[in-house]
Structure 1
Amino acid sequence: MLVTSLIVATYNWPEALNLCLLSIKNQKVLPAEVIIADDGSGQDTRLLIEKFQRIFPVPLIHIWHEDSGFRKSISLNTAIKKAKGNYIVQVDGDVILDQNFIKDHQSLAETDVFVRGTRAHITQKMLPEIYSTEKISFNFLSKGIINRFNAIRLPLLAFLFEKKIKNSNSVRGSNLAYWKSDFLLINGYNNDLKGWGHEDEELAARFINNGKLKKAVKFKAIQFHLSHGETSRTNEPVHAQVVQNTLLKKIKACDNGIAQL
Protein backbone atom coordinates (compact mmCIF):
# COMPACT_ATOMS: atom_id res chain seq x y z
CA MET A 1 0.00 0.00 0.00
CA LEU A 2 1.34 3.40 -0.99
CA VAL A 3 1.50 5.88 1.90
CA THR A 4 2.87 9.26 0.86
CA SER A 5 4.78 11.71 3.03
CA LEU A 6 5.30 15.15 1.48
CA ILE A 7 8.54 16.86 2.53
CA VAL A 8 8.76 20.64 2.11
CA ALA A 9 12.19 22.29 2.43
CA THR A 10 12.16 25.93 3.55
CA TYR A 11 14.36 28.73 4.81
CA ASN A 12 13.18 32.23 5.77
CA TRP A 13 10.66 32.89 3.01
CA PRO A 14 7.26 32.74 4.75
CA GLU A 15 5.46 34.55 1.91
CA ALA A 16 6.41 31.76 -0.49
CA LEU A 17 5.76 29.02 2.07
CA ASN A 18 2.27 30.42 2.64
CA LEU A 19 1.43 29.93 -1.06
CA CYS A 20 3.04 26.49 -1.09
CA LEU A 21 0.99 25.33 1.90
CA LEU A 22 -2.21 26.75 0.42
CA SER A 23 -1.55 24.74 -2.74
CA ILE A 24 -0.92 21.58 -0.70
CA LYS A 25 -4.16 22.12 1.22
CA ASN A 26 -5.90 22.40 -2.17
CA GLN A 27 -4.69 19.03 -3.48
CA LYS A 28 -7.29 16.69 -5.01
CA VAL A 29 -5.47 13.80 -3.34
CA LEU A 30 -3.78 14.67 -0.07
CA PRO A 31 -0.58 13.09 1.25
CA ALA A 32 -0.78 11.20 4.53
CA GLU A 33 1.29 13.93 6.18
CA VAL A 34 3.31 17.03 5.40
CA ILE A 35 6.69 17.55 7.05
CA ILE A 36 8.42 20.91 6.78
CA ALA A 37 12.21 20.58 6.75
CA ASP A 38 13.20 24.00 8.09
CA ASP A 39 16.89 24.94 7.79
CA GLY A 40 16.73 27.48 10.61
CA SER A 41 14.01 30.00 9.69
CA GLY A 42 12.94 32.74 12.08
CA GLN A 43 9.77 33.41 14.04
CA ASP A 44 7.68 34.53 11.06
CA THR A 45 7.94 31.06 9.53
CA ARG A 46 7.16 29.35 12.83
CA LEU A 47 4.04 31.47 13.37
CA LEU A 48 2.88 30.80 9.82
CA ILE A 49 3.22 27.05 10.26
CA GLU A 50 1.39 27.17 13.60
CA LYS A 51 -1.49 29.00 11.90
CA PHE A 52 -1.71 26.31 9.20
CA GLN A 53 -1.45 23.50 11.74
CA ARG A 54 -4.80 24.61 13.20
CA ILE A 55 -6.61 24.25 9.85
CA PHE A 56 -4.62 21.69 7.89
CA PRO A 57 -6.47 18.57 6.69
CA VAL A 58 -3.54 16.21 7.42
CA PRO A 59 -0.78 16.26 10.06
CA LEU A 60 1.57 19.21 9.45
CA ILE A 61 4.88 18.63 11.20
CA HIS A 62 7.57 21.29 11.64
CA ILE A 63 11.16 20.01 11.88
CA TRP A 64 13.55 22.86 12.72
CA HIS A 65 17.20 23.20 13.57
CA GLU A 66 19.29 26.23 14.45
CA ASP A 67 20.44 28.47 11.61
CA SER A 68 24.10 27.64 11.12
CA GLY A 69 24.47 28.23 7.40
CA PHE A 70 23.12 26.24 4.48
CA ARG A 71 22.54 22.75 5.93
CA LYS A 72 19.71 21.55 3.72
CA SER A 73 20.98 17.97 3.56
CA ILE A 74 20.86 17.61 7.34
CA SER A 75 17.46 19.31 7.49
CA LEU A 76 15.99 16.95 4.88
CA ASN A 77 17.49 13.86 6.49
CA THR A 78 16.02 14.85 9.86
CA ALA A 79 12.56 15.37 8.34
CA ILE A 80 12.58 12.18 6.29
CA LYS A 81 13.74 10.18 9.31
CA LYS A 82 10.47 11.24 10.98
CA ALA A 83 8.32 10.39 7.95
CA LYS A 84 5.72 7.65 8.49
CA GLY A 85 5.03 7.10 4.78
CA ASN A 86 6.75 4.47 2.67
CA TYR A 87 6.88 6.87 -0.30
CA ILE A 88 8.46 10.31 -0.18
CA VAL A 89 7.50 13.24 -2.38
CA GLN A 90 9.87 16.14 -1.96
CA VAL A 91 9.44 19.82 -2.87
CA ASP A 92 10.88 23.20 -1.94
CA GLY A 93 8.84 25.75 -0.06
CA ASP A 94 9.05 28.28 -2.89
CA VAL A 95 6.80 26.39 -5.31
CA ILE A 96 3.06 26.38 -5.93
CA LEU A 97 1.72 22.91 -6.69
CA ASP A 98 -0.84 22.08 -9.33
CA GLN A 99 -3.88 20.61 -7.57
CA ASN A 100 -3.12 17.18 -9.12
CA PHE A 101 0.52 17.15 -7.98
CA ILE A 102 0.26 14.44 -5.31
CA LYS A 103 -2.20 12.42 -7.37
CA ASP A 104 0.22 12.48 -10.31
CA HIS A 105 3.22 11.47 -8.23
CA GLN A 106 1.33 8.56 -6.73
CA SER A 107 0.46 7.37 -10.22
CA LEU A 108 4.16 7.51 -11.18
CA ALA A 109 5.44 5.42 -8.25
CA GLU A 110 7.21 2.26 -9.36
CA THR A 111 9.56 -0.28 -7.77
CA ASP A 112 13.30 0.42 -8.23
CA VAL A 113 12.59 3.85 -9.72
CA PHE A 114 12.88 7.42 -8.45
CA VAL A 115 10.95 10.21 -10.16
CA ARG A 116 12.33 13.53 -11.35
CA GLY A 117 9.75 16.13 -12.28
CA THR A 118 10.23 19.58 -13.79
CA ARG A 119 8.90 23.03 -12.99
CA ALA A 120 7.69 26.18 -14.64
CA HIS A 121 8.72 29.55 -13.20
CA ILE A 122 6.81 32.66 -12.19
CA THR A 123 8.64 35.94 -12.79
CA GLN A 124 9.76 37.98 -9.78
CA LYS A 125 7.75 41.02 -10.84
CA MET A 126 4.55 38.99 -10.34
CA LEU A 127 5.32 38.13 -6.72
CA PRO A 128 3.83 41.17 -4.90
CA GLU A 129 0.50 40.62 -6.63
CA ILE A 130 0.56 36.89 -5.92
CA TYR A 131 1.43 37.49 -2.25
CA SER A 132 -1.45 39.92 -1.79
CA THR A 133 -4.08 37.84 -3.63
CA GLU A 134 -2.76 34.43 -2.46
CA LYS A 135 -3.22 33.17 -5.99
CA ILE A 136 -2.41 29.47 -6.30
CA SER A 137 -4.13 28.55 -9.55
CA PHE A 138 -1.86 28.71 -12.60
CA ASN A 139 -1.55 27.04 -15.98
CA PHE A 140 0.58 27.34 -19.10
CA LEU A 141 -1.44 30.36 -20.29
CA SER A 142 -1.12 32.31 -17.03
CA LYS A 143 0.54 35.72 -17.00
CA GLY A 144 4.19 35.83 -15.96
CA ILE A 145 5.04 32.17 -16.60
CA ILE A 146 8.52 31.14 -17.80
CA ASN A 147 9.19 27.66 -19.23
CA ARG A 148 5.56 27.33 -20.27
CA PHE A 149 6.16 23.87 -21.72
CA ASN A 150 6.71 22.60 -18.16
CA ALA A 151 3.31 24.00 -17.13
CA ILE A 152 1.32 21.80 -19.50
CA ARG A 153 -0.53 18.90 -17.87
CA LEU A 154 -1.63 16.13 -20.24
CA PRO A 155 -1.90 13.01 -18.06
CA LEU A 156 -3.24 10.77 -20.84
CA LEU A 157 -0.16 11.49 -22.97
CA ALA A 158 2.44 11.75 -20.22
CA PHE A 159 3.52 8.10 -20.57
CA LEU A 160 4.75 8.85 -24.10
CA PHE A 161 7.35 11.23 -22.68
CA GLU A 162 8.50 9.21 -19.67
CA LYS A 163 12.16 8.20 -19.78
CA LYS A 164 13.79 5.65 -17.48
CA ILE A 165 17.51 6.23 -17.55
CA LYS A 166 20.68 5.51 -15.56
CA ASN A 167 21.54 9.15 -15.17
CA SER A 168 21.68 11.52 -12.20
CA ASN A 169 21.83 14.74 -14.22
CA SER A 170 19.34 17.55 -13.69
CA VAL A 171 17.83 16.06 -10.54
CA ARG A 172 16.36 18.76 -8.32
CA GLY A 173 14.91 18.21 -4.86
CA SER A 174 12.07 20.59 -5.62
CA ASN A 175 10.25 17.92 -7.63
CA LEU A 176 11.51 14.52 -6.60
CA ALA A 177 9.95 11.28 -5.35
CA TYR A 178 11.35 7.95 -4.14
CA TRP A 179 10.69 5.03 -1.83
CA LYS A 180 11.80 5.64 1.74
CA SER A 181 13.40 2.18 1.80
CA ASP A 182 15.59 3.17 -1.17
CA PHE A 183 16.51 6.41 0.60
CA LEU A 184 17.57 4.48 3.70
CA LEU A 185 19.50 2.00 1.53
CA ILE A 186 21.79 4.78 0.27
CA ASN A 187 21.92 6.49 3.71
CA GLY A 188 19.97 9.52 2.55
CA TYR A 189 21.48 12.89 1.78
CA ASN A 190 25.18 13.48 2.34
CA ASN A 191 25.46 15.62 5.49
CA ASP A 192 28.96 16.71 4.48
CA LEU A 193 27.53 18.78 1.61
CA LYS A 194 26.98 22.18 3.19
CA GLY A 195 26.18 25.23 1.12
CA TRP A 196 24.35 25.39 -2.19
CA GLY A 197 24.74 22.90 -4.96
CA HIS A 198 24.38 19.34 -6.26
CA GLU A 199 23.17 17.59 -3.09
CA ASP A 200 20.23 16.20 -5.07
CA GLU A 201 22.39 14.98 -7.97
CA GLU A 202 24.75 13.29 -5.52
CA LEU A 203 21.79 11.55 -3.89
CA ALA A 204 20.56 10.47 -7.33
CA ALA A 205 24.02 9.16 -8.25
CA ARG A 206 23.86 6.75 -5.32
CA PHE A 207 20.36 5.67 -6.33
CA ILE A 208 21.79 4.88 -9.77
CA ASN A 209 24.76 3.02 -8.25
CA ASN A 210 22.26 0.80 -6.42
CA GLY A 211 20.46 -0.14 -9.63
CA LYS A 212 17.59 2.33 -9.36
CA LEU A 213 16.44 4.15 -12.50
CA LYS A 214 15.56 7.81 -12.87
CA LYS A 215 12.09 8.30 -14.33
CA ALA A 216 12.04 11.72 -15.98
CA VAL A 217 8.48 12.92 -16.51
CA LYS A 218 6.64 15.59 -18.48
CA PHE A 219 2.98 16.65 -18.50
CA LYS A 220 2.44 15.40 -14.93
CA ALA A 221 3.38 16.56 -11.42
CA ILE A 222 3.29 20.24 -12.42
CA GLN A 223 4.65 22.94 -10.15
CA PHE A 224 5.34 26.68 -10.42
CA HIS A 225 8.54 28.05 -8.92
CA LEU A 226 8.62 31.58 -7.49
CA SER A 227 11.71 33.14 -9.07
CA HIS A 228 14.30 34.70 -6.76
CA GLY A 229 17.91 35.83 -6.61
CA GLU A 230 20.74 33.31 -6.50
CA THR A 231 22.05 31.87 -3.25
CA SER A 232 25.80 31.97 -2.63
CA ARG A 233 27.47 29.24 -4.66
CA THR A 234 30.85 29.22 -2.93
CA ASN A 235 30.89 25.44 -2.35
CA GLU A 236 29.38 24.50 -5.73
CA PRO A 237 32.67 23.38 -7.39
CA VAL A 238 33.54 21.17 -4.42
CA HIS A 239 30.09 19.60 -4.44
CA ALA A 240 30.30 19.00 -8.19
CA GLN A 241 33.52 17.09 -7.62
CA VAL A 242 31.85 14.97 -4.93
CA VAL A 243 29.17 14.00 -7.47
CA GLN A 244 31.84 12.94 -9.96
CA ASN A 245 33.66 10.95 -7.28
CA THR A 246 30.40 9.19 -6.32
CA LEU A 247 29.83 8.21 -9.93
CA LEU A 248 33.42 7.16 -10.72
CA LYS A 249 33.85 5.10 -7.56
CA LYS A 250 30.28 3.78 -7.75
CA ILE A 251 29.65 4.74 -4.13
CA LYS A 252 26.39 3.17 -2.96
CA ALA A 253 25.94 4.86 0.42
CA CYS A 254 27.41 7.99 1.98
CA ASP A 255 29.37 7.76 5.22
CA ASN A 256 27.61 10.67 6.90
CA GLY A 257 23.90 10.56 6.18
CA ILE A 258 20.53 9.87 7.74
CA ALA A 259 21.83 7.00 9.90
CA GLN A 260 24.32 9.32 11.57
CA LEU A 261 21.70 11.76 12.88
Structure 2
Amino acid sequence: MKNINISVGILISTYNWPKALDCVLFSLQQQTRQADEILIADDGSGKETEAVIRKYQGVFNIPVKHVWHEDKGFRKSTILNKAMQQAASDYIIQIDGDIILHRRFVEDHVKNARAARFVQGSRVLLDDARTREALGQKRCKFHFFGKGINNRLNALRIPFLSALIKADPESSHNIKACNLAFWKNDYIAVNGYDNLFTGWGYEDHEFAARLINSGVKKERLKLAAVCYHLNHNINSKHFTDSNERIYHETLLSKRRMSANGLAQI
Protein backbone atom coordinates (compact mmCIF):
# COMPACT_ATOMS: atom_id res chain seq x y z
CA MET A 1 0.00 0.00 0.00
CA LYS A 2 1.30 3.46 -0.90
CA ASN A 3 0.53 5.70 2.05
CA ILE A 4 1.39 9.11 0.63
CA ASN A 5 -2.24 10.02 -0.03
CA ILE A 6 -3.88 8.73 3.14
CA SER A 7 -5.37 11.32 5.46
CA VAL A 8 -4.03 11.25 9.01
CA GLY A 9 -5.63 12.38 12.24
CA ILE A 10 -3.84 12.85 15.56
CA LEU A 11 -6.00 11.79 18.51
CA ILE A 12 -4.79 13.35 21.79
CA SER A 13 -6.24 12.52 25.19
CA THR A 14 -5.80 15.23 27.82
CA TYR A 15 -6.87 16.22 31.30
CA ASN A 16 -5.88 19.41 33.15
CA TRP A 17 -2.22 19.67 32.16
CA PRO A 18 -2.21 22.64 29.78
CA LYS A 19 1.58 23.19 29.84
CA ALA A 20 2.15 19.62 28.70
CA LEU A 21 -0.51 19.90 25.99
CA ASP A 22 1.16 23.10 24.79
CA CYS A 23 4.42 21.16 24.34
CA VAL A 24 2.64 18.36 22.50
CA LEU A 25 0.91 20.72 20.07
CA PHE A 26 4.14 22.64 19.53
CA SER A 27 5.89 19.39 18.58
CA LEU A 28 3.09 18.68 16.11
CA GLN A 29 3.84 22.01 14.43
CA GLN A 30 7.40 20.83 13.74
CA GLN A 31 6.48 17.63 11.89
CA THR A 32 8.01 16.81 8.52
CA ARG A 33 4.67 15.29 7.55
CA GLN A 34 1.80 17.37 8.82
CA ALA A 35 -1.39 15.70 9.98
CA ASP A 36 -4.70 16.47 8.30
CA GLU A 37 -6.59 17.05 11.54
CA ILE A 38 -6.05 17.09 15.30
CA LEU A 39 -8.67 15.65 17.63
CA ILE A 40 -8.30 16.61 21.29
CA ALA A 41 -10.24 14.29 23.60
CA ASP A 42 -10.60 16.36 26.77
CA ASP A 43 -11.81 14.47 29.84
CA GLY A 44 -13.11 17.58 31.60
CA SER A 45 -10.24 20.08 31.76
CA GLY A 46 -10.64 23.72 32.78
CA LYS A 47 -10.26 27.07 31.05
CA GLU A 48 -6.45 27.00 30.88
CA THR A 49 -6.54 23.94 28.63
CA GLU A 50 -9.22 25.57 26.49
CA ALA A 51 -7.00 28.64 26.09
CA VAL A 52 -4.06 26.53 24.90
CA ILE A 53 -6.25 24.79 22.34
CA ARG A 54 -7.71 28.09 21.10
CA LYS A 55 -4.18 29.42 20.60
CA TYR A 56 -3.24 26.50 18.37
CA GLN A 57 -6.54 26.61 16.50
CA GLY A 58 -5.29 29.99 15.30
CA VAL A 59 -1.87 28.62 14.35
CA PHE A 60 -2.53 25.36 12.49
CA ASN A 61 -3.95 25.43 8.98
CA ILE A 62 -5.75 22.14 9.65
CA PRO A 63 -8.82 21.50 11.84
CA VAL A 64 -8.04 21.34 15.57
CA LYS A 65 -11.18 19.87 17.11
CA HIS A 66 -11.65 20.26 20.87
CA VAL A 67 -14.05 17.58 22.14
CA TRP A 68 -14.87 18.09 25.84
CA HIS A 69 -17.19 16.60 28.40
CA GLU A 70 -17.84 17.38 32.04
CA ASP A 71 -15.36 16.13 34.61
CA LYS A 72 -17.05 13.15 36.25
CA GLY A 73 -13.91 11.17 37.01
CA PHE A 74 -11.59 9.27 34.69
CA ARG A 75 -13.69 8.55 31.57
CA LYS A 76 -10.97 8.34 28.94
CA SER A 77 -12.68 5.67 26.84
CA THR A 78 -15.86 7.71 26.54
CA ILE A 79 -14.14 10.94 25.54
CA LEU A 80 -11.98 9.10 22.99
CA ASN A 81 -15.13 7.74 21.39
CA LYS A 82 -16.70 11.20 21.37
CA ALA A 83 -13.62 12.60 19.66
CA MET A 84 -13.56 9.76 17.13
CA GLN A 85 -17.12 10.58 16.15
CA GLN A 86 -15.67 13.75 14.65
CA ALA A 87 -12.74 12.08 12.91
CA ALA A 88 -12.59 12.62 9.15
CA SER A 89 -9.22 10.95 8.50
CA ASP A 90 -8.44 7.48 7.19
CA TYR A 91 -5.67 6.72 9.68
CA ILE A 92 -5.50 7.68 13.34
CA ILE A 93 -2.37 8.14 15.44
CA GLN A 94 -3.28 8.17 19.12
CA ILE A 95 -1.07 9.84 21.70
CA ASP A 96 -1.46 11.17 25.22
CA GLY A 97 -1.40 14.84 26.15
CA ASP A 98 2.03 14.46 27.75
CA ILE A 99 3.90 13.02 24.75
CA ILE A 100 6.39 15.23 22.89
CA LEU A 101 7.00 14.03 19.35
CA HIS A 102 10.18 13.63 17.33
CA ARG A 103 9.81 15.76 14.21
CA ARG A 104 9.55 12.65 12.02
CA PHE A 105 6.99 10.95 14.26
CA VAL A 106 4.02 11.31 11.91
CA GLU A 107 6.16 10.57 8.85
CA ASP A 108 7.37 7.31 10.40
CA HIS A 109 3.87 6.20 11.32
CA VAL A 110 2.52 6.92 7.84
CA LYS A 111 5.35 4.92 6.25
CA ASN A 112 4.49 1.95 8.47
CA ALA A 113 0.72 1.97 7.99
CA ARG A 114 -0.54 -1.32 6.52
CA ALA A 115 -3.98 -2.73 5.83
CA ALA A 116 -5.35 -5.03 8.54
CA ARG A 117 -2.64 -3.85 10.95
CA PHE A 118 -2.44 -1.58 13.95
CA VAL A 119 0.87 -0.21 15.16
CA GLN A 120 2.23 -0.06 18.71
CA GLY A 121 5.10 2.38 19.10
CA SER A 122 7.50 3.04 21.96
CA ARG A 123 8.17 5.99 24.25
CA VAL A 124 11.17 7.55 25.94
CA LEU A 125 10.65 8.28 29.64
CA LEU A 126 11.95 11.66 30.81
CA ASP A 127 12.98 12.27 34.40
CA ASP A 128 11.67 15.11 36.61
CA ALA A 129 14.43 17.57 35.78
CA ARG A 130 14.18 17.05 32.00
CA THR A 131 10.40 17.30 32.22
CA ARG A 132 10.59 20.65 34.02
CA GLU A 133 13.04 21.89 31.40
CA ALA A 134 10.78 20.78 28.56
CA LEU A 135 7.72 22.41 30.10
CA GLY A 136 9.64 25.65 30.51
CA GLN A 137 11.17 25.82 27.04
CA LYS A 138 9.05 23.70 24.64
CA ARG A 139 11.96 23.79 22.16
CA CYS A 140 14.08 21.21 24.01
CA LYS A 141 16.23 18.99 21.81
CA PHE A 142 16.04 15.32 22.75
CA HIS A 143 18.47 12.71 21.48
CA PHE A 144 20.01 9.35 22.33
CA PHE A 145 22.92 10.83 24.29
CA GLY A 146 20.82 13.47 26.03
CA LYS A 147 20.41 13.84 29.77
CA GLY A 148 17.34 12.87 31.75
CA ILE A 149 16.38 9.77 29.74
CA ASN A 150 15.50 6.60 31.61
CA ASN A 151 15.11 4.09 28.75
CA ARG A 152 17.67 5.32 26.27
CA LEU A 153 17.26 2.67 23.56
CA ASN A 154 13.79 3.99 22.76
CA ALA A 155 15.40 7.31 21.78
CA LEU A 156 17.20 5.67 18.83
CA ARG A 157 15.75 6.41 15.41
CA ILE A 158 17.13 4.03 12.76
CA PRO A 159 14.05 3.43 10.59
CA PHE A 160 15.71 1.14 8.04
CA LEU A 161 16.33 -1.34 10.89
CA SER A 162 12.88 -1.14 12.44
CA ALA A 163 11.49 -3.95 10.28
CA LEU A 164 13.97 -6.35 11.90
CA ILE A 165 12.25 -6.03 15.29
CA LYS A 166 9.20 -8.25 15.52
CA ALA A 167 6.54 -8.90 18.14
CA ASP A 168 3.71 -11.38 18.53
CA PRO A 169 1.06 -10.01 16.13
CA GLU A 170 -1.74 -11.58 18.16
CA SER A 171 -0.77 -10.36 21.63
CA SER A 172 -2.55 -7.43 23.28
CA HIS A 173 -0.14 -7.55 26.21
CA ASN A 174 1.72 -4.35 27.04
CA ILE A 175 -0.33 -2.12 24.76
CA LYS A 176 0.23 1.59 25.39
CA ALA A 177 -2.14 4.05 23.77
CA CYS A 178 0.34 6.90 24.21
CA ASN A 179 1.80 5.82 20.84
CA LEU A 180 -0.73 3.76 18.92
CA ALA A 181 -1.95 3.91 15.32
CA PHE A 182 -4.92 2.28 13.59
CA TRP A 183 -7.33 2.64 10.69
CA LYS A 184 -10.55 4.50 11.44
CA ASN A 185 -12.57 1.78 9.70
CA ASP A 186 -11.06 -0.86 12.00
CA TYR A 187 -11.93 1.31 15.00
CA ILE A 188 -15.53 1.53 13.81
CA ALA A 189 -15.69 -2.21 13.10
CA VAL A 190 -14.96 -3.10 16.74
CA ASN A 191 -17.14 -0.22 18.05
CA GLY A 192 -14.20 1.76 19.41
CA TYR A 193 -13.23 1.84 23.05
CA ASP A 194 -15.50 0.28 25.66
CA ASN A 195 -17.33 2.95 27.67
CA LEU A 196 -17.57 0.60 30.66
CA PHE A 197 -13.97 1.42 31.54
CA THR A 198 -13.74 4.01 34.31
CA GLY A 199 -10.57 4.92 36.12
CA TRP A 200 -7.07 4.19 34.91
CA GLY A 201 -5.98 1.01 33.18
CA TYR A 202 -6.57 -1.69 30.57
CA GLU A 203 -8.91 0.17 28.21
CA ASP A 204 -6.17 0.18 25.56
CA HIS A 205 -5.35 -3.52 26.13
CA GLU A 206 -9.01 -4.45 25.70
CA PHE A 207 -9.42 -2.31 22.57
CA ALA A 208 -6.34 -3.95 21.04
CA ALA A 209 -7.63 -7.41 21.98
CA ARG A 210 -10.85 -6.80 20.04
CA LEU A 211 -8.89 -5.57 17.04
CA ILE A 212 -6.83 -8.76 17.13
CA ASN A 213 -9.94 -10.91 17.59
CA SER A 214 -11.40 -9.27 14.48
CA GLY A 215 -8.34 -10.16 12.39
CA VAL A 216 -6.31 -6.95 12.68
CA LYS A 217 -2.73 -7.86 13.58
CA LYS A 218 -0.33 -5.91 15.79
CA GLU A 219 2.87 -4.43 14.41
CA ARG A 220 5.58 -3.35 16.84
CA LEU A 221 7.34 -0.19 15.72
CA LYS A 222 10.81 0.32 17.21
CA LEU A 223 13.62 2.62 16.08
CA ALA A 224 11.05 4.94 14.50
CA ALA A 225 8.13 7.17 15.54
CA VAL A 226 10.12 8.27 18.58
CA CYS A 227 8.33 10.21 21.31
CA TYR A 228 9.13 11.49 24.79
CA HIS A 229 6.90 11.02 27.83
CA LEU A 230 6.82 13.85 30.35
CA ASN A 231 7.12 12.60 33.91
CA HIS A 232 4.12 12.91 36.23
CA ASN A 233 2.46 11.28 39.21
CA ILE A 234 0.91 7.88 38.50
CA ASN A 235 -2.87 7.90 38.16
CA SER A 236 -4.99 6.24 40.82
CA LYS A 237 -5.29 2.49 40.26
CA HIS A 238 -8.51 2.17 42.27
CA PHE A 239 -10.41 0.69 39.32
CA THR A 240 -7.60 -1.48 37.98
CA ASP A 241 -9.08 -4.80 39.15
CA SER A 242 -12.49 -4.24 37.56
CA ASN A 243 -10.92 -2.95 34.35
CA GLU A 244 -8.56 -5.91 34.17
CA ARG A 245 -11.57 -8.20 34.59
CA ILE A 246 -13.27 -6.68 31.52
CA TYR A 247 -10.05 -7.15 29.55
CA HIS A 248 -9.70 -10.82 30.51
CA GLU A 249 -13.36 -11.45 29.66
CA THR A 250 -12.65 -10.13 26.17
CA LEU A 251 -9.63 -12.41 25.85
CA LEU A 252 -11.55 -15.48 26.99
CA SER A 253 -14.67 -14.84 24.93
CA LYS A 254 -12.78 -13.68 21.82
CA ARG A 255 -15.12 -10.71 21.75
CA ARG A 256 -14.78 -8.50 18.70
CA MET A 257 -17.25 -5.69 19.33
CA SER A 258 -18.00 -3.65 22.40
CA ALA A 259 -21.67 -3.59 23.36
CA ASN A 260 -21.15 -0.12 24.84
CA GLY A 261 -18.74 1.76 22.64
CA LEU A 262 -18.55 4.28 19.81
CA ALA A 263 -22.07 3.68 18.50
CA GLN A 264 -23.61 4.09 21.95
CA ILE A 265 -22.26 7.62 22.54
TM (norm. structure 2) is 0.96
Quick one: which of 87, 106, 125 aligns to 1:83? 87
The amino acid of 1:218's aligned partner reads: K
Cα deviation digits, residues 63-101 of structure 1 (max 9, x gap): 111111000001101111101001111000101000000
Deviation at 1:137, TM superposition (A): 2.6
Q: Distance in 2 between matches of 1:125 and 1:136?
A: 12
Quick one: which of 70, 73, 77 aligns to 1:66? 70
Q: Distance in 2 between matches of 1:221 and 1:126?
A: 20
Matched, 1:22 2:15: no
* Aligned twin of 1:119: 123
In terms of mean alpha carbon deviation, does 167-176 or 52-61 score higher? 52-61
The amino acid of 1:170's aligned partner reads: N
Deviation at 1:163, TM superposition (A): 3.3
Deviation at 1:136, TM superposition (A): 4.0
The amino acid of 1:96's aligned partner reads: I
Equivalent positions of 1:53-202 (< 5 A) are 53-163=57-167, 165-202=169-206
In terms of mean alpha carbon deviation, does 133-142 or 241-250 score higher? 133-142
Equivalent positions of 1:217-256 (< 5 A) are 217-256=221-260
* Aligned twin of 2:39: 35
TM (norm. structure 1) is 0.98
Cα deviation digits, residues 175-217 of structure 1 (max 9, x gap): 0000111000100000010110000000001011111111011
Q: Distance in 2 between matches of 1:89 and 1:154?
A: 20
* Aligned twin of 1:205: 209
The amino acid of 2:40's aligned partner reads: I
Deviation at 1:61, TM superposition (A): 1.1
Contact 1:23 / 1:136 at 8 angstroms: preserved in 2? no
Q: Distance in 2 between matches of 1:244 and 1:153?
A: 34
Contact 2:101 / 2:228 at 8 angstroms: preserved in 1? yes
Deviation at 1:52, TM superposition (A): 1.2
Q: Distance in 2 between matches of 1:212 and 1:72?
A: 23
Contact 2:126 / 2:149 at 8 angstroms: preserved in 1? yes
Deviation at 1:164, TM superposition (A): 5.3
Structure 2 gap segments, 5+ residues each: none
The amino acid of 1:258's aligned partner reads: L
Q: Distance in 2 between matches of 1:4 and 1:131?
A: 27
The RMSD of aligned alpha carbons is: 1.0
Q: Distance in 1 between matches of 2:262 and 2:189?
A: 10
Partner of 2:160, secondary structure, is: coil
Structure 1's consecutive aligned runs of 4 or more residues displaced over 3 angstroms after TM superposition are none
The amino acid of 2:63's aligned partner reads: P
The amino acid of 1:174's aligned partner reads: C
Matched, 1:258 2:262: yes
Contact 1:19 / 1:136 at 8 angstroms: preserved in 2? no
Q: Distance in 2 between matches of 1:55 and 1:204?
A: 34
Q: Distance in 1 between matches of 2:221 and 2:136?
A: 32
Partner of 1:129, secondary structure, is: helix
The amino acid of 2:132's aligned partner reads: P
Quick one: which of 44, 50, 53 aligns to 1:49? 53
Contact 2:77 / 2:193 at 8 angstroms: preserved in 1? yes
Contact 1:91 / 1:175 at 8 angstroms: preserved in 2? yes
